[in-house]
Structure formats: structure tokens, C-alpha cells
Copies of this chain bind each other. A is one copy, B any other.
Amino acid sequence: MDALRTLLKSAALRYNKLQPHHDQCRELVLAAHEKLLSSSNYRPFGVFSGRPSIPYFVFDLERSVSRPVRPDIFISDSNKFIRAYDELNSLLKSSMDWDQQTATAANAATYTSVMSIACCFDLWQRSSRKTPGTFFEIFMASLLQQVIPAAAFTKHIPLEALLHAPDVTGEDGAVSSLNQTEEDAEKSSVSTDLVIGAPSGKGGIVIPLKITTRERIVQPFAHQRILDAAFGEGSYKSMIVCISETQLDEKTQSVKQVCVPGTVKLFQKYLAPVSALYYCDIPQRYAASDMQRIIPVRSVGDLFKDVAIGYKILEGKK
């Protein structure tokens, strides 16, 4: 795991400086995938009892068991995965030429990459609970940078100005702004995951990334509402990207797909509408028509195209 941690650190360092880091990500992901396949046991675990039911696998090692993995999306052959990974990256760089087949392949390569890191940490460093989520962000940034290399990526949308408006801070707004500590200043921005700024400098695309959203799914909708109120509706679009919303039930040897369709519908209707929800492994319940009518739920393969199109539209507004 030391090698993986070192690679992750170097990718994170470049990401934090907003430098391209796909070479680091490639090395990291392939090492994690190799380690899993060579040092643990990939085996069927149980099913999600939906209609139709969906089989799940896990990686296990002695008494440790990884999170559940979808064998129909996870590429478990080293050579096939390397090929799929490199095809994804050349596709991202070269074209807007996405069809159903390339989107499906891109989705599988992304899923296999993110789950490889997550399962490694499940088996060999369970205490680092947040690392898979951090990697997911770093990794998606590296992929999206290749789709739109000209774009400015950040992680915050500053809202300082809004809070110093007279109606918020009162007449001595200037004074309280001088007294504001650095911590306050940081908190006075909407801290999202990825933000792709519009070329005009106004608005952009917000990409919240979640590995387990259950409690926190409210955040991106609340952020969208604040952005709508602050910058006008349509200035920012949110595309929420999720993966692996599942729970193992060791007692019954089954898998639960964690989803909260009612809550998402409420947020979409009463907080603020986001553009779409993207999943590598769309929960069955979210694919149902009553849900799709309220909020589009698409695959991560579709995300790359949608971001490219979304950015083109922003360029047009410049």
C-alpha cells in the first residue's frame, strides 16, 4: 500500500496545483487493479434482489471484505483493463464522437478505476475511509481536463461579495468584513467538489462527486439553490456524479442499493433543479420512469459528452 499511497499523494499534489495529472492517475489505477487481482480473491458475494436481480462480487482477503462490485461493469482482466483505460483516455482527448458503445466502454473503464482504488483501501487500509472519495474527485478532474483542456477548474465558488452586501451585514458591512477571520472567508464560499468555470468568467458547471451520498445528497441541491439566487438561474448547472451507492448485508449475503428517490424528487422540486444525476452503476430504482421524469439519471459515460456540450454552450456565450 505504500507504493499506492505515494502515487496518490503525487496525483493529489498536482491536482491541488490544478496541473494535469492523468499520467499519475494511470499509474495509480493500474497498480491498484493489479494488486487487487494478484493479492486478493474476486468472488461472487450475493445479489441485489431487484427486478431483475443483480449479482454482486467482492474482493476478499482473510477476514476482510471489500465493498460490493458489479461484475458486469468491472473489468477483471488486466490486459483488457489497460486497453480500456487507454481507449477511454484517447477518446476523451480526441473527440466529441460519442455513441452508445463508447459511452458504455467509458463508463466501465471509469467504474473499474474508481472501484479498484476503493477496494484496495477497503482491504488494506480500512481506516482511511475518506480516501476513495478524495481519489474519485482527483480522478474525475483528470478525465474531464482531457475533455476540455482549455477550461479553468476550481473547487470553490466565492460568495464573499454577497455576504458583504448591506442587506446581509448591515450598515457596518465594511467593518465586519475587516474583522472577518480567514476561516470565515473560506466558509463564505460554496465549497463544491469540481467547478468548471465559464470562459466569460461568469457561471459554469458544478460537478459534485459522491461515493456515499445518503446523508449528504442534500448538499448539491442546496448549493444549486444558492447559486441560482446569487448569480441568477442558469448561470451554474450542477451535474451530480455518483458511484457505488450500496451496502453489504453480511448476514443475508445480499446487497442493498442505497437510494432515496422520494428525497431526490423533493429536493429537485423544492430546493433547486440540477441538470442530471450520473452513475457508473445506476441504482435500479433511479432508472424508473417516475424518477426520470423529474430528474434525468444517466451513465458516467454520458457525462463526458454532456460536459463537452455544456462547455461548448458556455464558450458560445463568451
Chain A to chain B contacts (Cβ below 8 Å), 15 pairs: A159-B262, A163-B265, A168-B269, A168-B294, A169-B290, A170-B289, A176-B288, A184-B261, A184-B262, A188-B263, A218-B218, A226-B267, A226-B271, A229-B270, A271-B271
Closest to A230 in B: B270
With a cutoff of 8 Å between Cβ atoms, the chain B residues found around residue A285 in the complex are 184
A265 contacts B168, CB within 8 Å?
yes
Q: A67 within 8 Å of B by Cβ?
A: no
B216 contacts A215, CB within 8 Å?
yes
Q: Which of B172, B188, B289 contacts A262 (CB 8 A)?
A: B188
Contact indicator per residue, chain A 205-233, by CB within 8 Å of chain B (1) or not (0): 00000000001101101100110011000
Q: How far is the CA of A189 from the CA of B261 in the complex (A)?
A: 11
Q: How far is the CA of A31 from the CA of B162 in the complex (A)?
A: 49
Q: How far is the CA of A176 from the CA of B105 in the complex (A)?
A: 32
Q: How far is the CA of A263 from the CA of B290 in the complex (A)?
A: 34
A263 contacts B187, CB within 8 Å?
yes
Q: A residues bordering B, Cβ < 8 Å?
A: 159, 162-163, 168-170, 172, 176, 179, 184-190, 215-216, 218-219, 221-222, 225-226, 229-230, 260-263, 265-267, 269-271, 285, 288-290, 293-294
Q: How far is the CA of A186 from the CA of B262 in the complex (A)?
A: 8
With a cutoff of 8 Å between Cβ atoms, the chain B residues found around residue A293 in the complex are 169-170
Q: How far is the CB of A224 from chain B (nearest CB, A)?
A: 11
Q: Which of A222, A229, A288 gathers the greatest number of chain B CB atoms within 10 Å?
A: A222
Q: Which of A163, A168, A170, A270 gathers the greatest number of chain B CB atoms within 10 Å?
A: A270
With a cutoff of 8 Å between Cβ atoms, the chain B residues found around residue A170 in the complex are 289-290, 293
Q: How far is the CB of A256 from chain B (nearest CB, A)?
A: 10
A267 contacts B184, CB within 8 Å?
no
User: Which 7 residue pairs across A and B have the least CB separation, nearest first?
Assistant: A188-B262, A187-B262, A176-B290, A229-B270, A226-B270, A187-B260, A187-B263
With a cutoff of 8 Å between Cβ atoms, the chain B residues found around residue A270 in the complex are 225-226, 229-230
Q: How far is the CA of A170 from the CA of B191 in the complex (A)?
A: 34
Q: How far is the CA of A41 from the CA of B35 in the complex (A)?
A: 48
Q: Which of A184, A216, A266 gathers the greatest number of chain B CB atoms within 10 Å?
A: A266
With a cutoff of 8 Å between Cβ atoms, the chain B residues found around residue A230 in the complex are 270
Q: How far is the CA of A67 from the CA of B220 in the complex (A)?
A: 31
Q: How far is the CA of A287 from the CA of B294 in the complex (A)?
A: 42
